[in-house]
Chains A and B, each alone.
Chain A
Amino acid sequence: MMKFKDCVAGLALVAALASPTFAEISVKVAYDADPVSLDPYEQLSGGTLQLNHMVFDPLVRWTQDLEFESRLAESWEQIDPTTMRFKLRKGVTFHSGNAFTAKDMDWTFDRVKESPDFKGIFAPFTDIEVVDDYTIDLKTSEPFPLVLHTATYLFAMDSAFYSGQTADGKDKAEIVKHGDSFASRNISGTGPFVVSEREQGVKVVFDRFDGYWDSASKGNVDEIILTPIKEDPTRVAALLSGDVDFIAPVPPTDLARVEKAEGVNLITMPGTRIITFQMNQDRVEAFKDPKVRQAIDYAVNNTGIVDRIMRGFGTVGAQASPAGYLGYISDLEPRYDVEKAKALMAEAGYADGFSISMMAPNNRYVNDDKIAQAVASMLSKIGITVDLQTLPKAQYWPEFDARAADMMMIGWHADTEDSANFHQFLSACADKTSGNGQYNAGNYCNPEADKLMDMANAETDIAKRREHLQRLEQILYDEAAYIPLHWQNLAWGAKEGMNAGDIVNALNFPYFGDLTVAK
C-alpha cells in the first residue's frame, strides 16, 4: 500500500500545481456485486459484461432502442449467406500501447471458442478470416440471423499482451474457471477506462484512458470507483447520504424514497428478464392437459402481482418476448378470470382440484418468494392446494436441475436478446445432445414449436423470421406451455447533475464511457 500513499501524495501535489479550473471528475458507483474476474470471457454474467463495456469495446453494441451501434466495426455487410464482412476502425490502440488490428479480432475469436461460458453463444460460428489488417470475415456454418446480436459479445482483446508465458510458465491466454490465471488479474482492452487498482470484493478503480479512440464520445468522467455494497438498505443509504454517486439496482421497496429524495434521480426502464412458472407434466398427470394449464394461467393475476408485490416495478407479461423482440405479439393479453379457470378445471375433470408441490428461490429475483406465495394462494381459489417451499438460490438450482417440484419458478433473460432463445432453453423438447430445453422443468414438448424455432434460427430474412417467432409465441400462449408473469424492471439511482439516463439500457450495463457529469 506504500504505492497508494505515494499516489495520494502525488495527486495532492498535482492538484496543488494545476490551474484552479482543473477539476478531476470522479464518480463513485455502488453495485450489489463486483466482477468475478478481469478476464472478459471467464464468466458470462452481468458483472463481466459491465466490466467489458468499460475496459473493452465490442464490434457493435446495443443502443437504448435495441438497435446496433458501430464500435470497433465501422461498417458491415453480408457478402454471402454464411459470411458477414466487418470493416474495422483504424487508429485504435490498446491500453498497453499496442495497435488494434484484424489479428486481435481473430485471436479473440479463437479464445472465445475455448471459453466454457461463451462458446455456446458462438456455436453457430466457425471462424474469423482475416482479409487485411482492417477487414475480417465472420463465418457461420449455416445461414444465421443473429450475427450482429452475437457480435455484441466480441470484445477485442490485446493479442500481443495476452500471448506468451507468465513468469511461472503458464500460458497467458488460458481461461481458468477456478483458480488463478494471467487474464483474471491483468487486463488490456481498447475501452474508455483502464483498471488502475483492484481489491476483489472491496473496490475497483477505473481511470479514463487518454488514448481512447472515440473522440466523439462526450463522456467526461476521469475516474470511476466501483464498490460492491451487497445490502440493499446500505446501498440506498450510501446514495442518499452522498457517499456514492450512482447505484444499481435500486430495490423496489426504496423506489419511492429515491424518487422523492432531493439531489438524487431515479432512472427506471422496462427490463427483458421474464419471470415464469413451469408446470411439470412428467410429475403431474393433470398438467398434460392444456385446459388445466390454461386454468392456472387464468387463475394467476399477473397484474395484481405487478401492482401489489412489485409495486408497479415490472411490466405485466403474457409471453416470454418483451416488446422490441421479433417474437413479441402486441395483442397478447394476460389471462385472468377465476370463473373461467374454475370452468376449465371442471371441463378437464378436475372440478375438485388436486394437490401439488411448488418451489421458488428467495434471493434470486426481485420479490421471488412473495410472488410464489401469491401464486400459491391464487391457485387455492381454483382448488389446487400448493405445498410451497422457497430456498436460497444456491440450494434452489440443484433442486431445479433435479426437477424436484411440480411447479418451479424460473426467470430468463435471452443472452442473444432474441425470442428464439427463450423457447430454446425454457420450452423446447428437452434434448441432452443439443442442449435444448435445459431449463424446461415443465417437460412441455411440442415438435411443431421446435420446428418453428429451427426455421427461425436458419432464416436471415427479418420479416419471415418475425412470422416464425410470432407463430411460435402464439402456440406457447394458446397451449399455456408455462405461466409468464412479468418482466422485471431495471432501476438506477444517480446524483443530480449526472446524465445517467443517457447511458442506461435494457441490458443493464450502462455505458459509463459516455457518461457526462455537470461540472
Chain B
Amino acid sequence: MFAYLVKRVFQAIAVMLAISLIAFAIQGNLGDPLRELVGQSVSEEVRQKLRDDLGLNDPFAVQYLRFLGNALQGDLGTSYFFKEPALDVILKKLPATLELVFGATVIIIGLSIPLGVFTAIWPNSILTRIILSLSIVGLSIPVFLTAILMIFFFSVELGWMPSFGRGEIVHVFGYWETNFATKDGWAHIIMPSIALSSIMLPMFIRLIRAEMIDVLQSEYIRYAQAKGIAPWRIYFVHALKNTLLPVITVGGVQIGTMVAYTILTETVFSWPGMGAMFLEAVNRVDTPLIVAYLIVVGFIFVLTNTIVDLIYGLVNPTINLARMGA
C-alpha cells in the first residue's frame, strides 16, 4: 500500500511536470497578454517596457526554469487580472466548482442506479424505451445548449428558477462557502447541477444497464434464483454489487472529466467557479492563471484516479494495489 502511494506521488509529479511544460509551450500561441493589460492607444515603447518587466521577452527555457523554481516554493505565478497568486485565485474558486460537481454527482448516482437497474430487469417495458430514448437525446445535446434552454424555460418563461450566479451562500471555513445552507442557495445550484449531469447521466444509465444485464445472466444469479431468494435481494445485493465494480472505475475517471465540463456550465450560468474563470483567463490571455489551472486540474485527475484505485481495492480484495501501475 505504501509503496503504491509513493509510486503514485511520483507519477503525479511527472504528470504535472509534463502538463506545465505543455501549457508553457502553448502559451505563446494564446495571444499577447499585453493587449488585455493596456489600453489601445498605448505606445509600442511602453508595451515593450512592460514586456520586459513581466519577463516575457526572455527565452523560453529561462521563463520555464524561472517558473519551475518558483513552483517548487509553491508559487505558480501571479494572475494578471486578479493580481493575486494564481493558486490562491483557483483555491478560492474551487469550492464553487466542487459543490457543482458534487450536486451533479448526487443526481447521477441517485438516478442512474435505479434507472439502470430498472431498464436491465424490464428491458421490454415502455418505460424502459422512454428512458433509453431520452438518454440518447441527453447524450447528443451539448451542455451549453441544455443550460441555455433551461434558463430560457425555467427562468424567463416560467420564472421559477434564478437565472445566474450562486445566490445566497454561507461561509463554512477557509475559502469554502456553501450553497447547501439556504433555500436561495439550493435554488441556484439545481439548474447548473442538472445541466452538468446531463451528459454523464445517460451514459451511466446505459453502463449500469449493460453491466447488470451481463451479471443477471451469470451462474450464481441463476443459482440464487433457483434457491428461492427474494428477487429484490438478488437484484440489489448480489447483482448490483458486481455491477458496480466497472462503474466505479469509469465513474472515477468521469468525475475528473466533469471538472472539464464545468467550463461550459459555469460560463453559461455565470457560476463563479474555476471553470468560468479558466475560460475568462483564456480570453484575457492571463497565462499564469491558465498554466496554474491546468496543473491543478491535472492534479485533480491524478487524485481521483488514485482514490478510485484505492476504493477498487476495498471493493474487490483480489486486486493487488502494490502491483498496479507498475
**Contacts A233-B148, A395-B31: A238 and B163 contacting too (C-beta < 8 A)?**
yes
A397, B151: Cβ atoms closer than 8 Å: no
At the interface, yes or no: A240 with Cβ under 8 Å from chain B?
A: yes
The minimal Cβ–Cβ distance linking A256 to chain B, given in whole angstroms, is: 15
B151, A392: Cβ atoms closer than 8 Å: no
B-chain residues with CB within 8 Å of residue A44 when the two chains form the complex:
38-42
Which of B37, B148, B272 interacts with A43 by CB under 8 Å? B37
How far is it, in angstroms, between the C-alpha of A148 and the C-alpha of B156 when the chains are bound?
Answer: 45
Q: Mark B43-70, 1 if CB is under 8 A from A, else 0.
A: 1101001100110000000000000000
B164, A243: Cβ atoms closer than 8 Å: yes
Which B residues from 176 to 230 make CB contacts under 8 A with A?
177
Which of A36, A178, A392, A394 interacts with B78 by CB under 8 Å? A178
At the interface, yes or no: B73 with Cβ under 8 Å from chain A?
A: no
At the interface, yes or no: A37 with Cβ under 8 Å from chain B?
A: yes
The minimal Cβ–Cβ distance linking B120 to chain A, given in whole angstroms, is: 39
The minimal Cβ–Cβ distance linking B43 to chain A, given in whole angstroms, is: 5
**Contacts A37-B83, A234-B270, A243-B164: A395 and B78 contacting too (C-beta < 8 A)?**
no
Which A residues from 166 to 187 make CB contacts under 8 A with B?
176-181, 184
Which of A178, A229, A243 interacts with B155 by CB under 8 Å? A243
How far is it, in angstroms, between the C-alpha of A393 and the C-alpha of B171 when the chains are bound?
Answer: 38
B-chain residues with CB within 8 Å of residue A4 when the two chains form the complex:
171
Stretch in B11-19, B98-106, B279-287, B308-316 with 4+ CB within 8 Å of A: B279-287
The minimal Cβ–Cβ distance linking A320 to chain B, given in whole angstroms, is: 15
At the interface, yes or no: A460 with Cβ under 8 Å from chain B?
A: no
How far is it, in angstroms, between the C-alpha of A229 and the C-alpha of B49 when the chains are bound?
Answer: 33
Which of B31, B44, B49 interacts with A397 by CB under 8 Å? B31
At the interface, yes or no: B35 with Cβ under 8 Å from chain A?
A: yes
At the interface, yes or no: B239 with Cβ under 8 Å from chain A?
A: no
B272, A202: Cβ atoms closer than 8 Å: yes
Interface residue tally on B, bucketed by range: 35 or more
B-chain residues with CB within 8 Å of residue A396 when the two chains form the complex:
31
Which of A121, A181, A234, A432 interacts with B164 by CB under 8 Å? A234
A116, B46: Cβ atoms closer than 8 Å: yes
At the interface, yes or no: B268 with Cβ under 8 Å from chain A?
A: yes
At the interface, yes or no: A91 with Cβ under 8 Å from chain B?
A: no
A-chain residues with CB within 8 Å of residue B269 when the two chains form the complex:
234
How far is it, in angstroms, between the C-alpha of A242 and the C-alpha of B163 when the chains are bound?
Answer: 9
B163, A234: Cβ atoms closer than 8 Å: yes
**Contacts A178-B83, A231-B268: A116 and B36 contacting too (C-beta < 8 A)?**
no
How far is it, in angstroms, between the C-alpha of A233 and the C-alpha of B224 when the chains are bound?
Answer: 55
At the interface, yes or no: A307 with Cβ under 8 Å from chain B?
A: no
Q: Mark A396-426, 1 if CB is under 8 A from B, else 0.
A: 1110010000000000100100000000010
Which B residues from 280 to 300 make CB contacts under 8 A with A?
280, 282-285
B163, A243: Cβ atoms closer than 8 Å: yes
B35, A394: Cβ atoms closer than 8 Å: yes
Q: Mark A130-162, 1 if CB is under 8 A from B, else 0.
A: 000000000000000000000000000000000
At the interface, yes or no: B30 with Cβ under 8 Å from chain A?
A: yes
A236, closest chain B residue (CB): B156
B159, A242: Cβ atoms closer than 8 Å: yes
How far is it, in angstroms, between the C-alpha of A117 and the C-alpha of B267 when the chains are bound?
Answer: 30
A43, B39: Cβ atoms closer than 8 Å: yes
A-chain residues with CB within 8 Å of residue B32 when the two chains form the complex:
394, 397-398, 401
At the interface, yes or no: A308 with Cβ under 8 Å from chain B?
A: no
How far is it, in angstroms, between the C-alpha of A230 and the C-alpha of B41 when the chains are bound?
Answer: 25
The minimal Cβ–Cβ distance linking A11 to chain B, given in whole angstroms, is: 13
How far is it, in angstroms, between the C-alpha of A516 and the C-alpha of B14 when the chains are bound?
Answer: 59
B267, A231: Cβ atoms closer than 8 Å: yes
How far is it, in angstroms, between the C-alpha of A242 and the C-alpha of B38 when the chains are bound?
Answer: 35
B164, A238: Cβ atoms closer than 8 Å: yes
The minimal Cβ–Cβ distance linking A149 to chain B, given in whole angstroms, is: 14
**Contacts A116-B46, A178-B83, A200-B82: A1 and B151 contacting too (C-beta < 8 A)?**
no
At the interface, yes or no: B236 with Cβ under 8 Å from chain A?
A: no
Max chain B C-beta neighbours (<10 A), residue from A45, A227, A231, A435: A231
The minimal Cβ–Cβ distance linking A439 to chain B, given in whole angstroms, is: 8
How far is it, in angstroms, between the C-alpha of A229 and the C-alpha of B268 when the chains are bound?
Answer: 9
At the interface, yes or no: A21 with Cβ under 8 Å from chain B?
A: no
How far is it, in angstroms, between the C-alpha of A180 and the C-alpha of B80 when the chains are bound?
Answer: 9
B156, A116: Cβ atoms closer than 8 Å: no
B38, closest chain A residue (CB): A117
A230, B267: Cβ atoms closer than 8 Å: yes
B155, A394: Cβ atoms closer than 8 Å: no
A-chain residues with CB within 8 Å of residue B268 when the two chains form the complex:
231, 233-234
**Contacts A45-B39, A227-B270, A435-B43: A394 and B162 contacting too (C-beta < 8 A)?**
no
Which B residues from 125 to 172 make CB contacts under 8 A with A?
148, 151-152, 155-156, 159, 162-165, 170-171
Which of B31, B170, B272 interacts with A392 by CB under 8 Å? B31
A-chain residues with CB within 8 Å of residue B76 when the two chains form the complex:
none
At the interface, yes or no: A16 with Cβ under 8 Å from chain B?
A: no
A180, B35: Cβ atoms closer than 8 Å: no
How far is it, in angstroms, between the C-alpha of A392 and the C-alpha of B284 when the chains are bound?
Answer: 10
B-chain residues with CB within 8 Å of residue A45 when the two chains form the complex:
39
A-chain residues with CB within 8 Å of residue B277 when the two chains form the complex:
201
A-chain residues with CB within 8 Å of residue B148 when the two chains form the complex:
233-234
At the interface, yes or no: A5 with Cβ under 8 Å from chain B?
A: yes
A179, B83: Cβ atoms closer than 8 Å: yes
The minimal Cβ–Cβ distance linking B111 to chain A, given in whole angstroms, is: 26
**Contacts A36-B81, A395-B30: A438 and B41 contacting too (C-beta < 8 A)?**
yes
At the interface, yes or no: A120 with Cβ under 8 Å from chain B?
A: yes
How far is it, in angstroms, between the C-alpha of A44 and the C-alpha of B40 when the chains are bound?
Answer: 8
B-chain residues with CB within 8 Å of residue A1 when the two chains form the complex:
170-171, 177
At the interface, yes or no: A2 with Cβ under 8 Å from chain B?
A: yes
At the interface, yes or no: B318 with Cβ under 8 Å from chain A?
A: no
At the interface, yes or no: B29 with Cβ under 8 Å from chain A?
A: yes
A178, B164: Cβ atoms closer than 8 Å: no
How far is it, in angstroms, between the C-alpha of A199 and the C-alpha of B82 when the chains are bound?
Answer: 10
B-chain residues with CB within 8 Å of residue A398 when the two chains form the complex:
31-32, 35
How far is it, in angstroms, between the C-alpha of A392 and the C-alpha of B276 when the chains are bound?
Answer: 17
A199, closest chain B residue (CB): B272
How far is it, in angstroms, between the C-alpha of A176 and the C-alpha of B280 when the chains are bound?
Answer: 21
B280, A230: Cβ atoms closer than 8 Å: yes
Max chain A C-beta neighbours (<10 A), residue from B35, B41, B159, B282: B41
How far is it, in angstroms, between the C-alpha of A432 and the C-alpha of B279 when the chains are bound?
Answer: 35
20 CB < 8 A contacts A-B: A43-B37, A45-B39, A117-B42, A120-B43, A180-B83, A180-B84, A184-B83, A201-B81, A234-B268, A237-B152, A237-B155, A238-B164, A363-B283, A394-B282, A394-B283, A398-B31, A398-B32, A398-B35, A438-B44, A439-B40
Closest 3 CB pairs of A and B: A394-B31, A44-B39, A1-B171
Give me the interface of B with A, judged by CB distance under 8 Å: 29-32, 35-44, 46, 49-50, 53-54, 78, 80-84, 148, 151-152, 155-156, 159, 162-165, 170-171, 177, 267-270, 272, 276-277, 279-280, 282-285
Give me the interface of A with B, judged by CB distance under 8 Å: 1-2, 4-5, 30, 36-37, 43-45, 116-118, 120-121, 176-181, 184, 199-202, 227-231, 233-234, 237-238, 240-243, 363, 392-398, 401, 412, 415, 425, 432, 435, 438-439
17 A-B pairs besides A180-B83, A438-B41 with CB distance below 8 A are A1-B177, A37-B83, A176-B83, A180-B84, A230-B276, A230-B280, A233-B152, A234-B163, A238-B163, A238-B164, A238-B270, A243-B163, A363-B283, A395-B31, A396-B31, A398-B35, A438-B43
